[in-house]
Each structure stands twice: as structure tokens, then as C-alpha cells.
Amino acid sequence: WLKKLLLERCQRSHLPCVQPNPRSCTPNQVPTSHRRLSQRPAPPLVTMAPEKRVDPEDGQAYTYDELAAYYKGKYKKKAIEAYWETCTATKKSKKGKKEEPEPKAKGKAKSKAKAKAKAEPKAKAKAKAKAKKEPKPAGNFKVCVCGGAGGIGQPLSLLMSMDPNVKELCIFDLNVAMVPPAGVAADLSHLERKASVKGYVMEVGKKPIDFLEECLTGCDLVLVPAGMPRKPGMTRDDLFKTNADIAKGIVEACAKFCPKAVLGMIVNPVNSVVPAMAELYKKKGLDPMKIVGITTLDVVRANKFVGGITGKNPNYISVPVIGGHAGTTIMPVFSQDKVAATIDAEKIPDLDKRVQDAGTEVVNAKDGKGSATLSMAYAGARLGKAVLAGLAGKRRVECAYCKSDVTDLPYFAQKVAFGEGGITKVFPLGDLNEYEKKRLEEAKTQLKTEIETGLKYAESNELAA
């Protein structure tokens, strides 16, 4: 209709313009009314805000670009795209904000200046708030693996040296380790990664506090895959006494040389060792929440086993495992994962039991010549990466065993958030079904006695000054 109207006007004005399109006419050929139409400013473009979806890992909403930037390097592009499709879109508000009209050309310069002066403080306030939220730069953290030349320690050190947040990696072990720590450090120092690696050795019978000043000073994270394996005829109490003394020596040195570092404990029995070391830290006037029991392997196993049953990718399965890190104290909460929740209720007890006994499954498969070293290293590195990401200002959620008040027990494994400084939040257990409520009481009964063993050790021991 517009073309028809313009053609009629051209014909009335007896101009030689034969095209209804004003862009094909010279300026003198276009009627005045026609020029006005063509000179009108184009309506402002309405830009749509990018879609945001909730990442189930931390419950926060992100755009696809933000999600892809975080998971880049960890998963392939297709896997990230598939994960994006599983995330729930955020609800859009029905009432959109109206765009502010442009100021009129006849407006006074004084009013413009006044409006600008008012806007400046707001802009400065926004810039200041944004600056406060800026995360710490990645790649500036010092990490030490105590027991880094052992069966768990070597692959754990390898995985941590590949973390972009690690600037300096220290490998500490005794002179009786399967290989010298300096050898592990030399091997890892050839990787095309930014981390510098150095080894430290100590003779058996010496005190770590007398040898580890250079190794531990400035550390942000200390991972401790140390201690003796349980031998035939050795009771749980015998194992605890031996390994608690080993852990105490390392914790003692950390308290002196890196008291603000997060200590990730992989020292069995974790259910007793962590309470013992945390209470010793507390007696020393330090933060007991810096002592963290690494129970991540239970989560890893639960996710893998659920994926095997359902045929789903375990990367997108997240089964919380609460309680402790041994036997019946290991309690997977299958009902809280959308994939695991689809498994028939009759299969859950057997699946639960398999997660509890998964360590024995590996020992038997290795014909008694080893235990779960590689999977434990993987799980330890997963928690270590979460701690470092949190220290860098990127909140991460994992299950861990630590001082807790979510139950009537003083120590418990549950979901925690890692942020700047270490654990920033301990989450409640969430909804449990009838089977899980019964299992919780069973786990607590066993865990209570193991915690008491650790508390008694702390009462009769002190960390050196």
C-alpha cells in the first residue's frame, strides 16, 4: 500500500519519477511528503536478553556462553551442549522494562549536565560493586601432596599439576617410598603445564615440623594421601593409632607453616582421623573447618554405578553420599538425583551395598596386591580442584566429611560449598525417603563410635608449638 501511495503522489506532482521506491529517485525528484517519510529515524532495535538456565551443580543461573566458558577444557563442546539442554530455563518476568526516551533536541544543556552528574555516582557505584566481585586470578596457588610418591600420591600429583589454578606443586614423602619424591617432581616438571614442581624427602622417624618449613610455607591446599594400609590381623583401632600419629605429624607442621591452608585428608580410617585432627586444630586456636575428609570417591562410585544401570552418562549424574567413609556409614541418597530416582526401589538396597563395598571389589580384583589407588587419586583431585576453584572466587559444591551440625553428630559427610577461605557453607541433608531415613539411623549408630575414637585421641594429644 505504501508503494501504491507514493506512485500516486509522484503522478500528481508530474515529476519524472516512475519508481515507487524513493531510494531509486534523486533527492530533487522525491516529493516533500515522500522525503519526510524516508527521513524519519528508524525505531530503536529491541535487544533480547540472552537466555539463562540453572546449573544443578550450584543452583545458579548462567547463559550458555558463561556455562561453556566454565566447563571448557573439562568437557567437549558436544557434551557441554547436551548438558545445557538438561538445565532448567529461568522464568522470564512478564513485565519488561520500558526503554527510556531520548532527550529532546530543544532540551537545555544545563538539564543534560545535571542528569549526567546524577548518573555518574550510580555508574561509579556499579563499577565499584563489579570490582568487588572480581575473582582472584587463577594459577597462583601453592599445593603440597604429602605422600606424593605413593600409590595414590603419584597419580594425584599428576592430576593436580594439570590444574590451571596450580602455580607451585610440592611432592613430599619418606625415604622409604617406592620412588624418591624428587624423581616424581622431575617427571612431572616435564609436562607442558605452568606449575613448577619440587620434591621433598624426610627420613623415617623424623618429625615433619623439623623438615617441612620450605615445603609448606605459603601453601593454600595440602592433600594428605598418607598412612599405612590395613594389614592382616590388624584391628581398626591398631590402624587408627598408627595412621593418627602419621597424620598428626603433618597437621602439626601445617599448623605452624600454613595455618590458613585447607587440609584434604585421605588417611584411613577417615571417620576417626578427621575428628581427631580437627579437634587438635581447635585446641591450637585454629579453624577446625580447614580439616576436610575426602569422601568424594563414594560419590564418584555412586554416579558411575547409577550410569551403568540406567545407561546414562555419569557426568550428568550427581548422587549425594552422606554419613562417613567406611562400610555402613557410606550412605548414597539416590532419591535426590533425577536419574538415580528412576531406578526400581527393589534394586536400591543392592546398589547401596555395592557402593559401600566398592573398595573390597577393587582389592579382590587386584588379588590382594593393591587397593583403589587410581580412582582415589581421581576423587582426591576432584575435591582439590573444587577447593582451588573456590579459593579463586568460583563457588563449588561437593560432598565432604567435616565438622557439622546438620545432625546430632559433631562430624558428618554432606554437601558443602567451597569458596574463598575454604568451606563457606554446610548444606542440610534434604528430603529422604523411608528407606533412606532407616539407613541414616544405621549409619549414625556406626559413625558415632568411630567419631568418639577420634575425639578421645584429641583429648590426650597436643600439637607442638
pLDDT computed for residue 101 by the predictor? 41
Chain mean pLDDT for the chain: 85
pLDDT computed for residue 83 by the predictor? 82
- Split at pLDDT 50, 70, 90, the class of 391 is very high
Active site amino acids:
325
How many CB atoms sit inside 10 A of residue 399's CB?
24
* % of the chain at pLDDT higher than 90: 65
Question: Considering Cα of 265, then 269, then 272, then 276, what sign does the dihedral take?
Answer: negative
- Range with the poorest average pLDDT among 64-73, 158-167, 296-305, 307-316: 64-73
For the cut 80, the answer to whether the pLDDT of residue 16 exceeds it is: no
Does residue 75 or residue 379 have the better pLDDT?
Answer: 379
Query: Mind listing the pLDDT tens digit for each residue in 255-302?
Result: 999 999 999 999 999 999 999 999 999 999 999 999 999 999 999 999
Query: Mind listing the pLDDT tens digit for each residue in 319-342?
Result: 999 999 999 999 999 999 999 999
In Å, what is the CA distance from 389 to each residue of 68, 93, 138, 220?
16, 32, 8, 12
For the cut 80, the answer to whether the pLDDT of residue 375 exceeds it is: yes
**Residue written as grid cell 596450580:** 166
Side-chain-side CA neighbours of 331 within 13 Å: the count stands at 29
Does residue 76 or residue 6 have the better pLDDT?
Answer: 76
Residues 464, 238: Cα–Cα separation, whole Å: 23
Q: Contact 266/224 with Cβ under 8 angstroms?
A: yes
The answer to whether the pTM exceeds 0.85 is no
- Split at pLDDT 50, 70, 90, the class of 370 is confident
pLDDT computed for residue 245 by the predictor? 95
